[in-house]
Amino acid sequence: MLTKLFARSILTLSGWRVKNNMPPNIKQCVMIAAPHTSNWDFFYTRLAFLQMDIHVKMTIKRSYMRFPYGPFARALGCIGIDRRPKKEGQERPSMVQVMADLFKEHDNLVMLVTPEGTRSLSNKWKTGFYHVAVLANVPVALGYLDYKKKEAGVGKMVYPSGDMKKDMQEIMAFYKNIAAHTPEYFSIDLDYDS
Protein backbone atom coordinates (compact mmCIF):
# COMPACT_ATOMS: atom_id res chain seq x y z
CA MET A 1 0.00 0.00 0.00
CA LEU A 2 2.82 2.36 0.93
CA THR A 3 4.72 1.65 -2.30
CA LYS A 4 1.55 2.26 -4.33
CA LEU A 5 1.06 5.61 -2.60
CA PHE A 6 4.74 6.46 -3.10
CA ALA A 7 4.52 5.62 -6.83
CA ARG A 8 1.36 7.71 -7.27
CA SER A 9 2.96 10.67 -5.48
CA ILE A 10 6.13 10.60 -7.61
CA LEU A 11 4.15 10.29 -10.85
CA THR A 12 1.75 13.07 -9.86
CA LEU A 13 4.60 15.39 -8.86
CA SER A 14 6.28 14.63 -12.19
CA GLY A 15 3.08 15.50 -14.09
CA TRP A 16 2.32 11.92 -15.18
CA ARG A 17 -1.06 10.23 -15.12
CA VAL A 18 -1.80 6.52 -15.30
CA LYS A 19 -4.44 4.81 -17.40
CA ASN A 20 -5.17 1.12 -16.84
CA ASN A 21 -7.33 -0.73 -19.36
CA MET A 22 -6.27 -4.17 -18.16
CA PRO A 23 -9.31 -6.22 -17.14
CA PRO A 24 -9.12 -7.13 -13.42
CA ASN A 25 -9.78 -10.82 -14.13
CA ILE A 26 -6.55 -11.21 -16.16
CA LYS A 27 -4.09 -13.25 -14.10
CA GLN A 28 -1.70 -14.23 -16.90
CA CYS A 29 -0.46 -12.29 -19.92
CA VAL A 30 2.57 -11.13 -21.84
CA MET A 31 3.02 -7.39 -21.20
CA ILE A 32 4.77 -5.30 -23.84
CA ALA A 33 6.74 -2.32 -22.53
CA ALA A 34 7.21 0.21 -25.33
CA PRO A 35 8.59 2.58 -26.43
CA HIS A 36 11.99 1.73 -24.98
CA THR A 37 14.37 4.58 -25.88
CA SER A 38 15.74 5.85 -22.55
CA ASN A 39 16.80 4.70 -19.10
CA TRP A 40 13.92 6.85 -17.78
CA ASP A 41 11.50 4.35 -19.32
CA PHE A 42 12.33 1.75 -16.67
CA PHE A 43 11.80 4.27 -13.86
CA TYR A 44 8.38 5.46 -15.05
CA THR A 45 7.29 1.96 -16.06
CA ARG A 46 8.03 0.57 -12.60
CA LEU A 47 6.20 3.44 -10.90
CA ALA A 48 3.18 3.04 -13.19
CA PHE A 49 2.95 -0.70 -12.57
CA LEU A 50 3.26 -0.13 -8.82
CA GLN A 51 0.43 2.40 -8.94
CA MET A 52 -1.74 0.07 -11.05
CA ASP A 53 -0.94 -2.82 -8.66
CA ILE A 54 0.31 -4.95 -11.57
CA HIS A 55 3.14 -7.22 -10.44
CA VAL A 56 5.21 -7.69 -13.57
CA LYS A 57 7.98 -10.27 -13.87
CA MET A 58 11.02 -10.20 -16.14
CA THR A 59 13.06 -13.18 -17.28
CA ILE A 60 16.83 -13.33 -16.86
CA LYS A 61 19.43 -16.10 -16.93
CA ARG A 62 19.08 -18.30 -13.86
CA SER A 63 22.76 -17.73 -12.97
CA TYR A 64 21.90 -14.08 -12.15
CA MET A 65 19.47 -15.24 -9.48
CA ARG A 66 22.38 -16.37 -7.28
CA PHE A 67 24.31 -14.21 -4.84
CA PRO A 68 25.32 -11.38 -5.10
CA TYR A 69 22.76 -10.35 -7.77
CA GLY A 70 19.91 -12.64 -6.69
CA PRO A 71 18.29 -10.55 -3.94
CA PHE A 72 18.32 -7.43 -6.14
CA ALA A 73 16.99 -9.38 -9.15
CA ARG A 74 14.15 -10.89 -7.09
CA ALA A 75 13.25 -7.45 -5.69
CA LEU A 76 12.88 -6.19 -9.27
CA GLY A 77 10.57 -9.09 -10.11
CA CYS A 78 12.98 -11.25 -12.08
CA ILE A 79 12.44 -14.94 -12.77
CA GLY A 80 15.46 -17.05 -13.62
CA ILE A 81 15.28 -19.24 -16.70
CA ASP A 82 17.49 -22.14 -17.67
CA ARG A 83 17.65 -23.40 -21.26
CA ARG A 84 19.89 -26.35 -20.57
CA PRO A 85 18.38 -29.70 -21.58
CA LYS A 86 16.74 -31.51 -18.67
CA LYS A 87 18.47 -34.77 -19.64
CA GLU A 88 21.71 -35.45 -21.42
CA GLY A 89 21.17 -35.94 -25.15
CA GLN A 90 17.97 -33.89 -25.23
CA GLU A 91 17.74 -30.86 -27.48
CA ARG A 92 18.11 -27.44 -25.87
CA PRO A 93 14.63 -25.86 -25.54
CA SER A 94 13.94 -22.58 -27.31
CA MET A 95 13.63 -19.35 -25.34
CA VAL A 96 9.99 -19.15 -26.45
CA GLN A 97 9.26 -22.63 -25.08
CA VAL A 98 10.97 -21.96 -21.75
CA MET A 99 9.11 -18.65 -21.33
CA ALA A 100 5.77 -20.21 -22.29
CA ASP A 101 6.35 -23.03 -19.76
CA LEU A 102 6.59 -20.43 -16.98
CA PHE A 103 2.84 -19.85 -17.37
CA LYS A 104 2.28 -23.51 -16.37
CA GLU A 105 4.36 -22.96 -13.23
CA HIS A 106 2.82 -19.64 -12.14
CA ASP A 107 -0.95 -19.09 -11.83
CA ASN A 108 -0.41 -15.32 -11.65
CA LEU A 109 2.16 -14.17 -14.20
CA VAL A 110 2.42 -10.88 -16.06
CA MET A 111 5.59 -11.32 -18.10
CA LEU A 112 7.17 -8.01 -19.11
CA VAL A 113 8.99 -7.89 -22.48
CA THR A 114 10.66 -5.15 -24.51
CA PRO A 115 10.27 -6.37 -28.10
CA GLU A 116 12.30 -3.53 -29.59
CA GLY A 117 15.27 -5.30 -28.02
CA THR A 118 17.39 -2.12 -27.81
CA ARG A 119 17.17 1.55 -26.90
CA SER A 120 18.62 2.38 -30.33
CA LEU A 121 16.48 2.73 -33.45
CA SER A 122 15.17 -0.59 -34.75
CA ASN A 123 12.32 -0.93 -37.22
CA LYS A 124 12.10 -4.68 -36.65
CA TRP A 125 10.70 -5.96 -33.35
CA LYS A 126 11.55 -9.34 -31.82
CA THR A 127 8.36 -11.37 -32.19
CA GLY A 128 9.13 -14.02 -29.58
CA PHE A 129 6.62 -12.36 -27.22
CA TYR A 130 3.84 -13.17 -29.69
CA HIS A 131 4.87 -16.82 -30.00
CA VAL A 132 5.08 -17.11 -26.20
CA ALA A 133 1.52 -15.75 -25.90
CA VAL A 134 0.23 -18.20 -28.53
CA LEU A 135 2.02 -21.19 -26.98
CA ALA A 136 0.90 -20.29 -23.44
CA ASN A 137 -2.61 -19.34 -24.64
CA VAL A 138 -2.49 -15.94 -22.92
CA PRO A 139 -3.29 -12.42 -24.17
CA VAL A 140 -0.78 -9.69 -24.97
CA ALA A 141 -1.20 -6.51 -22.91
CA LEU A 142 0.00 -3.28 -24.54
CA GLY A 143 1.89 -1.34 -21.89
CA TYR A 144 3.08 2.10 -22.92
CA LEU A 145 4.70 5.38 -21.94
CA ASP A 146 3.59 8.42 -23.92
CA TYR A 147 5.98 11.27 -23.13
CA LYS A 148 3.96 13.85 -25.08
CA LYS A 149 0.80 13.21 -23.06
CA LYS A 150 2.81 12.26 -19.96
CA GLU A 151 0.66 9.17 -19.72
CA ALA A 152 1.65 5.65 -18.69
CA GLY A 153 -0.47 2.56 -18.62
CA VAL A 154 -1.97 -0.44 -20.30
CA GLY A 155 -3.75 0.50 -23.49
CA LYS A 156 -5.52 -2.64 -24.56
CA MET A 157 -5.39 -6.42 -24.67
CA VAL A 158 -4.72 -8.35 -27.85
CA TYR A 159 -5.87 -11.97 -27.88
CA PRO A 160 -3.75 -13.88 -30.42
CA SER A 161 -6.00 -15.18 -33.18
CA GLY A 162 -3.42 -17.38 -34.88
CA ASP A 163 -3.17 -14.85 -37.71
CA MET A 164 0.14 -13.30 -36.69
CA LYS A 165 0.15 -10.64 -39.40
CA LYS A 166 -3.29 -9.35 -38.41
CA ASP A 167 -2.51 -9.41 -34.69
CA MET A 168 0.86 -7.70 -35.14
CA GLN A 169 -0.76 -5.02 -37.33
CA GLU A 170 -3.22 -4.36 -34.49
CA ILE A 171 -0.33 -4.03 -32.02
CA MET A 172 1.65 -1.72 -34.32
CA ALA A 173 -1.43 0.44 -34.97
CA PHE A 174 -1.65 1.03 -31.22
CA TYR A 175 2.01 2.03 -30.81
CA LYS A 176 2.25 4.06 -34.01
CA ASN A 177 1.18 7.33 -32.36
CA ILE A 178 2.81 6.83 -28.95
CA ALA A 179 5.47 9.50 -28.27
CA ALA A 180 8.79 8.09 -27.05
CA HIS A 181 11.24 9.87 -24.74
CA THR A 182 13.68 10.01 -27.67
CA PRO A 183 11.45 9.83 -30.79
CA GLU A 184 14.33 9.35 -33.22
CA TYR A 185 15.10 6.02 -31.49
CA PHE A 186 11.59 4.60 -31.73
CA SER A 187 9.92 2.78 -34.58
CA ILE A 188 7.15 0.27 -34.83
CA ASP A 189 7.93 -2.93 -36.73
CA LEU A 190 7.61 -1.73 -40.32
CA ASP A 191 6.89 -5.29 -41.53
CA TYR A 192 3.50 -4.95 -39.82
CA ASP A 193 2.70 -1.31 -40.56
CA SER A 194 -0.74 -1.51 -42.15
pLDDT digits (tens, 9 = 90+) for 58-70: 888 887 778 888 8
- Give 57-110 pLDDT, tens digit per residue: 988 888 777 888 888 878 878 888 887 777 788 888 899 999 999 999 999 999
Predicted local distance difference test score (pLDDT) of residue 1: 66
- Separation in Å, CA 165 to CA 11, 40, 60, 96, 100: 36, 31, 28, 18, 20
Q: Residue 61's domain spans which residues?
A: 2-192
Q: What order do you get walking across the sheet with 17-20 strand by strand?
A: 17-20, 151-158, 140-146, 28-34, 109-113, 56-61, 78-81
Domain count, the chain: 1
Supply the pTM of this predicted model. Answer: 0.90
